[in-house]
């Protein structure tokens, strides 16, 4: 522990997170694996475990613990990679002022909410983690600094995902959640309260386990250069990647490195197929093609239920029961078809130009004598404005970063039988796919469908276009139209979400009330009133010669723009 730093919760005391501890151990043995992404809800020990690993990394030449650097969410690129040392520049010297990556050299860089970072920063961080060096080429500066570090990013998937190209660059990924077994939760609380009450005593209590874990990691690091993986297992590696639908060869390389690290943790000088299969979920699950079925869980599938007894002919009904008289509604899965016109998303989005791009405020600069990043033209203008040819610190101007980030668009799609019978479901899916593909790489989308007796969130907030496409293509159709339920769920999903936009695709033929005895259409209009003022596009999917025009009424209550959906 670095003198003056707060006490660190021992990694050995983290309870009931075996996969997280295994993934951290692999990274602690072989940082060249390329970083670890931890996905899970808040309060699942993500940052606690990451900080605990830093305590077990090799100490530096000064005998102090390895550095643990927590990347602030609002950090600029200059703060991350380093920039020109302005004090040296005023003396005529060109020198690098190290950034956070260089400060984490030999230790661990932790990024909370990595999914909310700008793309270019994620790219820089992953480059440095892979190369072990950070290079800076700007402002007459051409320098580099060592950045041999273990990189850990964490995120809550409900707040949006990472783009596939960034997911692929994280060597390992583990999904965590807080235990739901009462006894396990009680044990976690008991340990945490003991740590907060007396951290030194808690550390002493866990000293033996912590020392054993540190010794195991140190022994594995020493053994790792001698660990081999038989050439015959390369085919197993490629088979595992191919079965997961992974295109990038990076997964194959990480499987090789992670299997060797797994063997080193067990004190063996040769990796086996069992090592490969042990690490495969950590390497492949976040790279898996979402259109493929999930991997087997390892437990045998349940036996199919016995068929119901066949009734005698005189007891068999002449016609099947209606879809909503008991069992689930019949399901059809329609293939997408091209709509006659794309959804006019840019037409209802305030503050955006014709192409739908966000209108950001013009960049500006402010005085900052301690600036680490200069707006050079503004700085020179300030100096010249007072009649000086050479700027001083009083002339320094730093650019104010503009807000960066994408839109949040919630698509709510009617998947009831009326849309399917009208032949509009294919066009509806086609319009959805077209709209999803038009979203920028930083835009986050979510998808709600409603049918039968309720509405479901088919896709949580994500920037992953492939995941969104798979969800749309697999969406079933059939049953009644619980429009009010969908609008209630929409309000719940968008509560507290700033700047969200809504696209509602429906024929408006609500026929499922919120409560027995109430009117389904009145319930829908009442639920829509809660969403009034939200930037909304209503897409009318109604077909046929007799049309009720309810989507138009709904748009009026919502204060939304209206567009009709016509097949091509």
Query: For residues 309 and 103, what is the distance between their CA atoms, to the nearest angstrom?
Result: 72
With vertex at residue 378, the alpha carbon angle to CA 373 and CA 383, rounded to the nearest 5 degrees, is 105
DSSP helix/strand/coil, 7:
coil
Catalytic residue among 79, 97, 250, 373: 250
Helical segments of 474-519, H only: 483-494
Backbone dihedral angles phi then psi of residue 140, each to the nearest 5 degrees? 65, 15
Catalytic residue list contains 359? no
Judged by DSSP in three states, 445 sits in strand
- For residue 561, list its beta bridge partners: 537
Give the SS3 label for residue 451: strand
3-class secondary structure, 441: coil
In the DSSP assignment, the letter for residue 29 is H
Q: Are 363 and 398 in contact (CB under 8 A)?
A: no
Q: Which helix (H) or strand (E) holds 471?
A: helix 465-473
What is the C-alpha separation between 539 and 347, in angstroms, rounded?
Answer: 13
C-alpha closest to that of 377 among 393, 365, 386: 365
What is the rounded distance in angstroms from the CA atom of residue 145 to the CA atom of residue 167?
Answer: 25
| Structure token pair of residue 455 | 């509405």
**CA separation for the pair 311, 315 (Å, rounded):** 6
Q: Which residues are catalytic?
A: 250
């Amino acid at each position: 522990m670095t003198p003056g730093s707060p006490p660190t919760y021992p990694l050995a005391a983290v309870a009931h997170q075996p996969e997280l501890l295994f993934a951290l151990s692999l990274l602690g043995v072989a940082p060249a694996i390329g970083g670890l992404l931890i996905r899970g809800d808040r309060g699942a020990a993500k940052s606690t475990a990451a900080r605990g690993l830093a305590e077990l990394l090799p100490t530096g030449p000064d005998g102090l613990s390895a550095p643990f650097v927590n990347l602030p969410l609002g950090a600029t690129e200059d703060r991350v990679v380093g920039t020109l040392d302005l004090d040296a520049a005023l003396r005529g010297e060109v020198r690098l002022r190290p950034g956070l990556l260089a400060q984490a050299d030999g230790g661990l860089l932790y990024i909370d909410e990595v999914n909310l970072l700008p793309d270019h920063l994620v790219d820089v961080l992953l480059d440095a983690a892979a190369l072990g060096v950070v290079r800076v080429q700007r402002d007459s500066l051409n320098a580099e600094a060592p950045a041999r570090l273990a990189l850990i990013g964490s995120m809550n998937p409900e707040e949006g995902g990472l783009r596939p190209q960034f997911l692929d660059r994280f060597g390992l990924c583990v999904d965590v959640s807080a235990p739901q077994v009462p006894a396990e939760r009680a044990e976690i609380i008991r340990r945490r309260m003991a740590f907060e009450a007396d951290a030194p005593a808690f550390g002493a209590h866990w000293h033996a386990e912590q020392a054993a874990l540190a010794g195991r990691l140190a022994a594995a690091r020493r053994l790792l250069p001698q660990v081999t993986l038989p050439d015959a297992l390369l085919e197993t590696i490629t088979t595992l990647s191919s079965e997961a639908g992974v295109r990038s060869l990076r997964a194959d390389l990480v499987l090789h490195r992670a299997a060797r690290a797994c063997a080193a943790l067990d004190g063996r000088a040769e990796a086996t197929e069992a090592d490969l299969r042990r690490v495969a979920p950590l390497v492949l699950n976040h790279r898996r093609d979402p259109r493929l079925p999930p991997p087997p869980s390892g437990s045998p599938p349940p036996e199919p239920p016995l068929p119901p007894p066949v009734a005698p002919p005189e007891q068999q009904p002449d016609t099947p029961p209606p879809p909503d008289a008991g069992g689930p509604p019949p399901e059809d899965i329609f293939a997408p078809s091209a709509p006659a016109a794309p959804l006019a998303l840019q037409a209802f989005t305030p503050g955006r130009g014709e192409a739908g791009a966000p209108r950001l405020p013009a960049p500006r600069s402010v005085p900052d004598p301690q600036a680490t990043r200069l707006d050079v033209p503004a700085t020179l203008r300030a100096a010249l404005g007072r009649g000086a040819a050479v700027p001083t610190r009083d002339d320094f101007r730093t650019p104010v970063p503009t807000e960066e980030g994408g839109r949040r668009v919630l698509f709510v799609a009617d998947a009831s039988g009326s849309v399917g019978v009208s032949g509009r479901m294919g066009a509806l899916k086609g319009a959805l796919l077209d709209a999803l593909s038009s979203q920028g790489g930083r835009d986050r989308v979510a998808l709600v469908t409603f049918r039968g007796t309720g509405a479901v969130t088919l896709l949580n907030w994500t920037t992953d276009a492939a995941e969104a496409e798979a969800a749309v293509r697999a969406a079933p159709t059939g049953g009644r139209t619980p429009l009010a339920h969908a609008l209630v769920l929409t309000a719940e999903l968008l509560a507290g979400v700033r700047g969200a936009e809504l696209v509602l695709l429906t024929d408006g033929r609500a026929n499922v009330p919120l409560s027995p005895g109430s009117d389904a259409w009145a319930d829908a209009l009442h639920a829509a009133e809660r969403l009034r003022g939200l930037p909304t596009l209503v897409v009318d999917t109604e077909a046929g010669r007799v049309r009720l025009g309810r989507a138009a009424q709904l748009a009026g209550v919502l204060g939304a723009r209206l567009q009709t959906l016509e097949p091509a």
